[in-house]
């Protein structure tokens, strides 16, 4: 029996047993706590629990087909559009800003994730998904129409919120409709399309670019403005129809916002969405992380009063955010219980350092392949994506192993040294004379370890909290993952910017042409114009290779702490026992719901 069939069967068998208990739980869906202080479902969670009881095998299959279709387009997006960045930045003469603008999106993404999760909890999962798709499309409309790097950069705000919202809601919906034994496997469902998009994406990018490298990328972005809303309709229709069905069955209790009047409803939404906390978090992250990006590459900029003030005010804002969340917020974005959860903290540390290490060595890999190894758009993208292909395949196998063993911690722990080995081999084999096979080998080995790490860390988060807390806990985890990626990109940008001029002056033939060097730094595309074997091209290759090795060394150092978090922080819950007890009590399969402790 397949996973969705198994889940559908479990839900259908348990529906009548749970219905009476569910009616009791959802009478006050707009209330956060009971008299005893135990968390009650918010309106969005209550709607999702009601939908759980209204699912039929067909509607559940339709929902998972919808998730898969979104995953197909999203993976094609991820494996296509990043190829365009090289040409988009170069068309604006701003190639060195790749990591700077990337970090802008990675700063916005952490802020957007808990907000989207909060909207999902207050209004419902399908409502939050529709909003995310809207932001996704607005972002790509701006990107496709941008005429300068400033517009291109500002569009990252909308795209980052939309794309990250789509990603996190896929995982939340999977968590809502699955038990822990199947969850590790099903959480990889959105990654399955990477099996073909890792190759199809770069080939499609090559076709979209054609011979117009400086403008063809616009159509490459524009196609997803049509594709994403179309495929999202399948999941949205399945969820809205099922939500309506649950309402007709009397399972959905309204949040009461409509009956409260505009003024009262606005006040309640202000509190439930934690606008004050969101504002403090947004301002804090922007003021703290953005100066890191702006000052990267110049020691003098760290002495600037503006940079120092931004960092100081960012720290103050984040401290105020922490105080507000703990002391005053009625519906906190990051509830205090999360930071008292050892497993949660361990998983956050794992995701944080894993993504930081990854983005340090990944950001400039494509540029190096095109310039130093004469790769085409298709082949450079394929080599880069071999990491994703391998990690997805391993994650699927790991998910199945977890399904039948009920354990997860030691799979992830075993993956860490493999991941570090792959990163370490990059130091030696990311050189100008390394063959494509050796470069791919390092990608595959690191991807092999990564497949074990990512899936087990996220599962540990969801296993360690109640169902009411799943959306918030998943958002917190993915928020810190994005922050790790943002810092990793900032580090990569700082290393590249600090080294590129010195290395070009060291390796390029004399006499040096200042204008020519500035052009090479600003547009990597211009570097490919020099003939293979020429003194200029060989000097550029040597300069790029020096930097790419420095990035690999940094990645290895950043990956080492992951071992500590697995060894000393992560609990290893027995997922089979959790699922058994949860089925007996009629609750969702989470350790805190089922009162299961780790061994």
> For the residues 314-326, what does the mean pLDDT come to?
89
Reported as type and span, the H/E element at residue 568 is helix 561-568
pLDDT, residue 588, reads 53
The three-state secondary structure class of 39 is strand
Whether the pLDDT of residue 60 is over 50: the answer is: yes
On the question of pLDDT at 303 being above 80, the answer is no
- CA geometry: angle 316, 318, 323, nearest 5 deg: 95
pLDDT per position as a tens digit, 154-187: 787 788 888 888 888 888 788 777 776 777 777 7
Report the Cα–Cα distance between both ends of the chain, in Å, rounded: 30
Give the CA angle between residues 163, 165, 168 to the nearest 5°: 110
Residue in the block written with tokens 């301002």 = 283
- Quick one: tokens of 86? 């090289």
User: What percent of the chain stands above pLDDT 70?
Assistant: 77
Residue 99 sits at φ, ψ, to 5 deg, of -75, -30
Interior angle at CA 48, CA 45 and CA 51, nearest 5: 155
pLDDT confidence of residue 126:
85
Q: Residue 33 in 3-state DSSP? A: strand
Which H helix or E strand runs over 577? helix 575-585
Q: What is the C-alpha to C-alpha distance for residues 95 and 594, in angstroms, rounded to an integer?
A: 52
- Asked if 423 contacts 446 with a C-beta cutoff of 8 angstroms, the reply is yes
pLDDT confidence band for 279 (50 / 70 / 90): confident
Phi-psi category of 124—alpha, beta or left, where left has phi over 0 and alpha has psi -120 to 50?
A: left
Q: How many other β-carbons are positioned within 10 Å of the β-carbon of residue 502?
A: 12
Q: How far are the Cα atoms of 136, 151, 167, 217, 523 from residue 145, in angstroms, in the given order? A: 15, 9, 25, 11, 20
- 310 CB-contact burial (10 Å; exposed 0-12 / middle 13-18 / buried 19+): buried
48 vs 128: CA distance, rounded Å:
12
Tokens of 354: 């894993």
Q: Please state, in angstroms and rounded to a whole number, the distance separating the CA atoms of residues 391 and 253.
A: 42
Of 21-25, 269-273, 504-508, 580-584, the poorest mean pLDDT is in 21-25
Mean pLDDT of all residues in 390-412: 87
Give the pLDDT of residue 31: 39
Distance of CA 245 to the CA centre of its chain: 32
How far apart are the C-alpha atoms of 200 and 190, rounded to whole Å? 16
pLDDT tens profile 521-571: 776 677 777 888 888 888 888 888 999 999 999 999 999 999 999 988 888
Q: Do 229 and 137 touch, CB atoms closer than 8 A?
A: yes
Tell me what pLDDT residue 293 has: 60
CB 366 within 8 A of CB 82: yes
The pLDDT, as a whole number, for residue 133 is 93
Provide the angle, in degrees to the nearest 10, between the axes of the packed helices 377-405 and 365-372. 140
Instruction: Please report the pLDDT score of residue 281 as a whole number.
Output: 81
152 and 141 Cβ atoms separated by less than 8 Å:
no
Contact 127, 173 (CB under 8 A): no
Question: If you search the block for the tokens 């997805």, which residue do you land on?
Answer: 392
Mean pLDDT score, 139-164: 81
Mean pLDDT over residues 225-252, rounded? 82
DSSP 381-424: HHHHHHHHHHHHHHHHHHHHHHHHH---HHHHHHHHHHHHHHHH
Task: Using the predicted structure, report yes or no on whether residue 480 has a pLDDT greater than 60.
Answer: yes
CATH superfamily of 15-274+330-594: MFS general substrate transporter like domains (1.20.1250.20)
Closest CA to 189 of 56, 2, 55, 64: 64
Q: In angstroms, rounded to a whole number, what is the distance separating the alpha carbons of residues 225 and 223? A: 5
Q: What is the pTM of this model?
A: 0.73
Q: What are phi and psi for residue 39, nearest 5 degrees?
A: -65, 130
What average pLDDT does the structure give for the chain? Answer: 78
CA-CA-CA-CA torsion sign (82, 88, 93, 94): negative
Mean pLDDT of the 574-581 span: 77
As given in the structure block, the two tokens for residue 126 are 């399908």
Identify the three-state secondary structure at position 304: coil
Look at the alpha carbons of 467, 468, 471, 473 in this order and tell me if their dihedral is positive or negative: negative
- The pLDDT score that the predictor gives to residue 317 is 92
Token code pair at residue 265: 């409803």
The region, left, alpha or beta by phi > 0 then psi within -120 to 50, assigned to residue 260 is: alpha
Is 466 in a helix, a strand, or coil? Answer: coil
CA–CA distance, 27 with 184 (Å, rounded to integer): 32
Q: In this predicted structure, what is the pLDDT of residue 104?
A: 67
Share of the chain above pLDDT 90, in %: 16
- Count Cβ neighbours within 10 Å for each residue of 411-436 and write b for 16 or more, e otherwise: bbbebbebbbbbbbbbbebbbeebee
Evaluate whether 293 touches 100 at the Cβ level (below 8 Å). yes
Per-residue confidence band for 244, with pLDDT thresholds at 50, 70 and 90: confident
The region of weakest confidence among 66-80, 283-297, 351-365 is 283-297
Using alpha carbons, select from 247, 30, 241 the residue that is nearest to residue 123.
Answer: 30
Delimit the CATH 1.20.1250.20 region(s) of the chain.
Answer: 15-274+330-594
| Mean pLDDT in residue range 316-335 | 85
Most confident of 179-193, 236-250, 483-497: 483-497
Question: What pLDDT, on the 0 to 100 scale, is given for residue 307?
Answer: 80
CB 251 within 8 A of CB 50: yes
Q: How high is the pLDDT of residue 447?
A: 92
Burial 271-281, CB ≥16 within 10 A → b, else e? ebbbebbbebb
The two structure tokens encoding residue 504? 């070009």
Token digits for 436?
A: 């494509």
């Amino acid at each position: 029996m397949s996973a969705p069939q198994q889940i559908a069967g479990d839900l259908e068998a348990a529906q009548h047993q749970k219905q009476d208990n569910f009616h009791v739980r959802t009478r006050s869906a707009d209330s956060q706590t009971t008299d005893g202080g135990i968390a009650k479902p918010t309106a969005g969670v209550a709607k999702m629990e009601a939908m759980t009881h209204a699912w039929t095998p067909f509607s559940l299959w339709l929902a998972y087909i919808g998730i898969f279709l979104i995953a197909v387009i999203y993976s094609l997006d991820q494996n296509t559009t990043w190829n365009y960045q090289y040409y988009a930045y170069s068309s604006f003469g701003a190639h060195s800003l790749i990591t700077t603008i990337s970090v802008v999106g990675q700063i916005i993404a952490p802020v957007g994730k808990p907000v989207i999760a909060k909207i999902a909890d207050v209004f419902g999962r399908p409502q939050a998904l529709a909003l995310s798709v809207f932001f996704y499309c607005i972002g790509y409309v701006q990107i496709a129409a941008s005429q300068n790097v400033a517009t291109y950069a500002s569009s990252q705000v909308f795209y980052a919120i939309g794309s990250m919202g789509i990603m996190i809601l896929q995982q939340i919906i999977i968590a809502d409709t699955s038990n822990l034994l199947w969850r590790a496997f099903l959480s990889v469902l959105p990654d399955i399309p990477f099996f073909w998009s890792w190759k199809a994406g770069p080939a499609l990018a090559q076709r979209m670019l054609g011979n117009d490298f400086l403008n063809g990328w616009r159509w490459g972005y524009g196609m997803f403005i049509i594709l994403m809303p179309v495929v999202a309709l399948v999941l949205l229709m399945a969820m809205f129809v099922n939500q309506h069905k649950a309402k007709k069955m009397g399972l959905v209790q309204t949040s009461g916002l409509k009956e409260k009047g505009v003024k009262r409803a606005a006040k309640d939404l202000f509190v439930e969405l934690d606008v004050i906390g969101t504002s403090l978090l947004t301002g804090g992250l922007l003021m703290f992380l953005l100066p890191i990006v702006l000052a990267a590459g110049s020691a003098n900029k760290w002495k600037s009063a503006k940079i120092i003030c931004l960092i100081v005010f960012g720290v103050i804002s984040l401290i105020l955010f922490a105080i507000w969340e703990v002391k005053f917020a009625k519906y906190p974005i990051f509830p205090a219980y999360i930071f008292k959860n050892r497993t949660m903290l361990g998983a956050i540390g794992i995701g944080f350092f894993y993504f930081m290490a990854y983005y340090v060595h990944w950001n400039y890999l494509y540029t190096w392949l095109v310039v130093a190894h004469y790769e085409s758009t298709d082949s450079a993208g394929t080599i880069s994506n071999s990491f994703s292909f391998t990690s997805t395949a391993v994650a699927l196998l790991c998910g199945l192993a977890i399904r039948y063993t009920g354990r997860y911690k030691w799979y992830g722990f075993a993956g860490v040294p493999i991941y570090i080995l792959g990163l370490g081999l990059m130091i030696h084999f990311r050189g100008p004379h390394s063959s494509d096979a050796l470069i791919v080998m390092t990608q595959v080995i690191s991807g092999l370890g990564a497949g074990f790490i990512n899936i087990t860390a996220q599962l540990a988060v969801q296993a360690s909290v109640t169902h009411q807390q799943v959306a918030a806990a998943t958002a917190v985890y993915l928020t810190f993952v994005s922050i790790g990626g943002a810092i990793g990109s900032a580090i990569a940008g700082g290393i590249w910017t600090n080294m590129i001029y010195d290395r070009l002056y060291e390796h390029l033939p004399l006499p040096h042409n200042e204008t020519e060097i500035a052009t090479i730094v600003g547009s990597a595309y211009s570097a490919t114009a020099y003939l293979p074997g020429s003194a200029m091209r060989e000097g550029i290759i040597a300069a790029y290779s020096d930097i790419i090795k420095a990035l690999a060394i940094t990645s290895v150092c950043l990956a080492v702490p992951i071992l500590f978090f697995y060894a000393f922080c992560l609990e290893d819950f027995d997922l089979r026992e959790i699922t058994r007890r949860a089925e007996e009590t009629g609750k969702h399969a989470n350790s805190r719901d089922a009162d299961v402790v780790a061994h």
